A and B are shown apart, each in its own frame.
Chain A
Amino acid sequence: MFEFLSDLFGSQIIAAFISAALPLVFIVPFVIFAVWLERKVSAHMQDRLGPMRVGWHGWLQTIADFFKLLQKEDIVASDTDKKFFNVAPYIVFAGTYLVFAALPFSSAYIGTSLDIGLFYIIAVSGLVVIGILMAGWASNNKYSLYGAMRSAAQIVSYEIPTAIVILSIVMFTGTLSLSEISDNQTAYFWNWYIFGGPDWGLTKFLVLPFMIIGFLILYISTLAEVNRTPFDMPEAESELVAGYHTEYSGIKFSMFFLAEYGNMFAVSAIVSVIFFGGYQSPIGYLGDALAANWLIPFEQLFWFAAKGIFFVFVQMWLRWTLPRVRVDQLMTLCWKYLIPYSIVNLIIIGIITLI
């Protein structure tokens, strides 16, 4: 994609800017869709209808909300630390957006083909914590500070099981590049790493149960990393109003919202790349059958988005299924269950890979 653009424009800088802006074209419509989906899913799970007035089944509701937010007055309370208060939305959004740089949307498009993609993603997702802490501290509001502290403790704690599970995948695959991991799982769905990877042999069947355990640990901890229920302590509406963005209004609030939903998709996409083949189709390509090679990247984009949105849907589903956990339960789950399990899982996968 980058080569194509730089040939087209004759300048690498312009090409880099255009290829860097492409995920934005994906994120913004996705967030508009996801917010609508969230409201619809929660409504139907509670036997309500949800938004119905604006457009067919309310599908324009989020766009209307967006224009409303754009026109809202931007209130910066007089006691806030204005410098940090204004910088925080930039950092939170940048932390989310930088993750998208390493996600392979299809075999034709990846922001940066880094060799150390997984490592890079773990590193930059930490940037969000700084933004959240900054927002909470600068707001000069008790709810914000509590929300920010809880959020930071939660995100850093759950980063460890995430990193250890990713480590075990790295041991199994021998690569850190996300596009290489996706390419390994080509052809049919039994080649996905959740089913033991593409190599048929004893290893595949030995490693299968541990891959499923790894997937469960990774999914639970990514759920906690994006502050979703049952781990939505930082934004627990019934006790902390809106958590770290209580003081934000108008467009700055919507930037936090955008970052949050973007993060939801990003972690779902990471899970789908690692365990569910990423952009690879589970049943073969239509482009191969029709001998139309240009169709394949678009199909891959479709599968990537479909898998990502499926996991986002599961997050919403869990939100209306499970009650919120307490802070001590949250920390117990992370430090006493997920981390020891993931270390044992890492050792077992290491031994199996060695055989």
Chain B
Amino acid sequence: MLTEFGKIFVFLLVAIIFVAVSIFIAKLIRPVRPTKEKLKTYECGENPVGTPWIKFNIRFYVVALIFLIFDVEVVLLFPWALSYKEYGFYGFLVGIIFLVILAVGMAYEWRKGDLEWARPKPNIPYLKKIIKNQTGEINQLQSEESKIE
């Protein structure tokens, strides 16, 4: 007797067999002519510089952590969402209290700036001084710059 999850396992098998068969068919008809240049890691035609396995931005880790909290929350809320109507307003309130606690946690993260992604600072051009006498002012600025240099 095949259960519903057994059918899912058959789906998984079919997916794997499909990929394996198509890769096998391709193997039969494709050429294999590797050269040293061909097997080099792609980096826009240049020789690859350094290792790509680097230390990564910590932001991705923080996002993964926050995701974990929310995903667990959603998993816990699914049974509640199915059955809260049986318990009327009381059942609804229980779930809402749970949600509110999480919302407070999220507000704390938001306030602390963990949800901010590093963004480039805007480079807005501005004038150092208001130019009164055009020629004179430019000359003055140029002379100041030459002094600094």
Contact = CB atoms under 8 A, between A and B. Distances in A.
Given A93-B19, A141-B52, A167 B63 contact: no
Interface in A15-62: 16-17, 19-21, 24
Contacts of B13: 17, 20
Interface in A104-152: 111-114, 119-120, 122, 137, 139-145, 149, 152
Given A167-B77, A251-B22, A97 B82 contact: no
B2 A13 contact: yes
Contacts of B77: 167
A210 to B, nearest CB: 15
A71 interface: yes
A163 B77 CA distance: 10
B4 A163 contact: no
Contacts of B34: 73, 75
A174 B85 contact: yes
Given A93-B18, A113-B4, A145-B52, A77 B89 contact: no
Interface of B: 1-2, 4-8, 10-16, 18-20, 22-23, 25-27, 29-34, 38-44, 48, 51-54, 56-57, 59-60, 63-64, 66-67, 70-71, 74, 77-78, 81-82, 84-85, 88-89, 92, 95-96, 99, 103, 106, 110, 115-119
Interface of A: 2, 12-13, 16-17, 19-21, 24, 70-80, 89-90, 93-94, 97-98, 100-101, 111-114, 119-120, 122, 137, 139-145, 149, 152-153, 156-157, 159-160, 163-164, 167-168, 170-171, 174-176, 241, 246-247, 250-252, 254-255, 326-328, 331-332, 335-336, 339-340, 343, 346-347, 350-351, 353-354
